Chains A and B, each alone.
Chain A
Amino acid sequence: MAAAPEHRPTFAALSLGDRLARAAPFVLIPALVVLGYATIGSTSSWLTLTVSGLAMGMMIFIMASGLTLVFGLMDVINFGHGAFISVGAFVGVSVLIALGGWTGTPSLMLNIAAVLLAALAATTVTGALGWGFERVIVRPVYGAHLKQILVTVGGLIVIEQLIHVIWGPDEIFLTRPETLKGAITFAGAAMEKYRLLAVAVGLVLFVAMRLILTRTKIGLIVRAGVQNGEMVEALGYRLRLVFIGVFVAGSALAGLGGVMWGLYQEVITAGMGEEMMILVFIVVIIGGLGSVEGAFIGALLVGLLQNYVAFLEPKLALVSNIGLMTAILMWRPQGMLPVVKAK
């Protein structure tokens, strides 16, 4: 049997170029951080802003990761994703308020236990809600983008209004558990403890997600399914089940993001999910629809830029994200790390 001719040199060059192209977005984060340092001038302010930018970015990433995978897998765009953020926040905060005895004492153990319980309640409820949402709202409109957008927006409104019915029309203020209050000082910069925690949680989740996606078979199915769902099914995998799993997990993560965001802002409103959705969409678009890494980089860029700009020129903070999106889409119209769709 004749061996196939080898074309190794060509591949090596191609893959190097490919690798560089894929690496370029990762360089943007350090570049932005350095640029921030150069424009802000003061080391302590810069450090504080960087930590808070990273914290914000991590939380947005947690909210965005599910949405981007859901889109990648089944071509479903869920405008109702924001509802899970709000519901997660309300459920989690209700638990924290009910556990006021635990959060009010300066015991690290009790505080952490309360936060964990709140996160658990929030993810359970939003995961279940996601499961129902997929069945009732999303499933009947597969393959029809127009209807998907309309129906999921409708779902968002209904859930948001139900929050008002259950928790009343007003925003709820809360205080963080005792041991998560305050800041630690490092190199003259005050860094809020809670923000450091948010960064840590975000990093852990990102690494865990990466491991699942690259080391487990489910992860392989998800990554392969984002590229070519038809072929995954032809290999014998029930992509629908995997999709439902991802939808539920993504909703649960949105709920977790909601609790974390609520603790960050120390106030929650029914409309917070809708507001966050705008950042989430920006992140998902600039990251490349379907790409978890892209969403991660996008989220950190958005978080950092918004914090730097808010310091330099407060009124432009939200608009800065539109500027970022415009710039990135000019550079890469499909987003930073577009998923190669099989045609």
Chain B
Amino acid sequence: MTMHLLSGDRPRSVVLTVLLLAILAALALAPFLFPGVRSLETAARICIFIVLVASYDLLLGYTGIVSFAHTMFFGIGAYGVALGLTHMGSTPGAMLAGTLLGALAAAVLALAIGLFSLRVRAIFFAMITLAVASAVAVLVSQFSALTGGEDGLNYKIPRALTPAFRLGEVAGLKITGKVLNYYLVFFVSLALFLLLLRVVNSPFGRVLEAIRENEFRAEAIGYKVVWYRTIATCLSAAVAALAGSLFAIWLRYVGPDTTLSFEIMLDILLMVVIGGMGTMYGAVIGATIFVLAQNYLQALMGVAADATASLPLLPQLFDPDRWLLWLGLLFVLSVYFFPTGIVGRLRAGR
């Protein structure tokens, strides 16, 4: 049964299995284990980013193409829900409609970009996605009548998902709409992750890997490389949009900084690389470690900056605003020295 859910793709490392089970258990029981508001925020963010990163891994790790538009697709999903709830009222129907339309829009846009760039050269894709993503970010901030511009949108979600909604108590925990909302995020994320696992272990996923390994041979055998890549792009975009929708439902807010910024794109890249490209489980490990580090390390940097305040240069280097500097360094070093990521290391060291 378990193997069936995992599509036969075992973690293939005892340590990794234990880690994955621990993360699963922690996320499944998060409202009970870590009742604070901030912990629940962190847990929900981890769930969403696991899906987002896994969908990116489908592209980067399994298909071997680099996209800089993944946050754009994430944002499209988020804005889809936001616009749905703003204009159609805060009903589950509006939420669902926004979600589906967002995913559809993301897939169609991915199809257009893919057909344009992938048929020429895979490397075009990286450049064109960068250009398109930045143009969309500019559009979103300019058309503020629709999108709220830089300020973003606040909106109401169905009442059953808000803290004001109370359902009783289970094991000493007050079950509020917030808890329900968390479980919505958790189960949808879990389902999407298992779906992606199924995709990469299907014949389709095998062809993607064959193309990544040797494009010419795959083409020679008779696979339409462009189509496989484009379909992978659309799928990845649609799942990213769904992750964005979850994010929007959870946060009850969307804005360019939280859903569209290049910084999130970097976070995704780092999570994939640290976790391990082309492994899917790497997304779980990468997203978990990264989100935890982001929440708690930035505070630590502030402490370091204060402690070194009297020294030259160091306080600027440890300034929490320079978080990206260290991320960038870590990223470059990981790509060089750690290309298989944590999952790759764990599997090799078995």
Contacts and interface: CB of A to CB of B under 8 A. Distances in A.
- Do A and B make up one complex? yes
Given A150-B269, A151-B332, A315-B142, A333 B119 contact: yes
- Residue with the highest number of chain B CB atoms closer than 10 Å, among A160, A321, A325: A325
A321 to B, nearest CB: 7
B128 A333 contact: no
Contact of A161 (B132, B313, B325): B325
Given A150-B335, A154-B332, A281-B127, A322 B135 contact: yes
B124 interface: yes
Interface stretch (B18-26, B191-199, B316-324): B316-324
B131 A321 contact: yes
Interface string A265-285: 000000000110110011011
Contact of A165 (B316, B332, B339): B316
Given A157-B331, A165-B317, A145 B122 contact: yes
A333 B116 CA distance: 8
B324 A157 contact: yes
B60 A274 contact: no
Interface string B121-155: 11110111011101100110011000000000000
Contacts of A156: 328
Interface in B34-48: none
Chain B interface residue number, banded: 35 or more
Nearest to B212: A146
Chain A contact residues: helix, strand, loop or mixed = helix
B116 A151 contact: no
Interface string A303-343: 00000000000010011011001100100011000000000
A150 B67 CA distance: 10
A157 B270 CA distance: 12
B322 A161 contact: yes
A158 interface: yes
B5 interface: no
Interface string B324-350: 110111011001100100000000000
Contacts of B64: 146
Given A157-B324, A157-B325, A318-B138, A281 B131 contact: yes
A180 B66 CA distance: 43
Interface residues of A, number: 42
A165 B325 CA distance: 9
A221 B166 CA distance: 75
A325 to B, nearest CB: 7
A137 interface: yes
A289 B64 CA distance: 21
Contacts of A161: 322, 324-325, 328
Contact of A162 (B116, B121, B126, B325): B325
Interface in B259-301: 262, 266, 269, 273
B321 A77 contact: no
A164 interface: yes
Nearest to A279: B131
Contacts of A321: 131, 135
- Residue from the set A79, A156, A275 with the largest chain B CB neighbour count within 10 Å: A79
A106 interface: no
Contacts of B313: 165
A285 B135 CA distance: 16
B336 A151 contact: yes
Contacts of B325: 157-158, 161-162, 164-165
A169 interface: yes
Contacts of B324: 157, 160-161
B120 A154 contact: no
Contact of A157 (B128, B142, B327, B336): B327
A329 B339 CA distance: 34
A324 to B, nearest CB: 11
Contacts of B138: 318-319
B332 A158 contact: yes
B232 to A, nearest CB: 15
Contacts of B66: 145-146, 149-150
Contacts of B134: 275, 278, 318
B343 to A, nearest CB: 17
A158 B316 CA distance: 14
A277 B127 CA distance: 9
Contact of A137 (B117, B119, B317, B332): B332
A301 B64 CA distance: 32
A140 interface: yes
Given A285-B128, A329-B117, 12 more contacts: A151-B332, A151-B335, A154-B329, A157-B327, A161-B325, A278-B131, A285-B127, A289-B121, A318-B134, A319-B138, A321-B135, A322-B132
Q: 9 nearest interchain CB pairs?
A: A157-B328, A161-B325, A154-B332, A158-B328, A281-B127, A154-B331, A149-B66, A165-B316, A333-B120
10 contacts: A77-B127, A140-B336, A151-B336, A155-B328, A158-B325, A165-B313, A275-B134, A278-B130, A281-B128, A318-B139
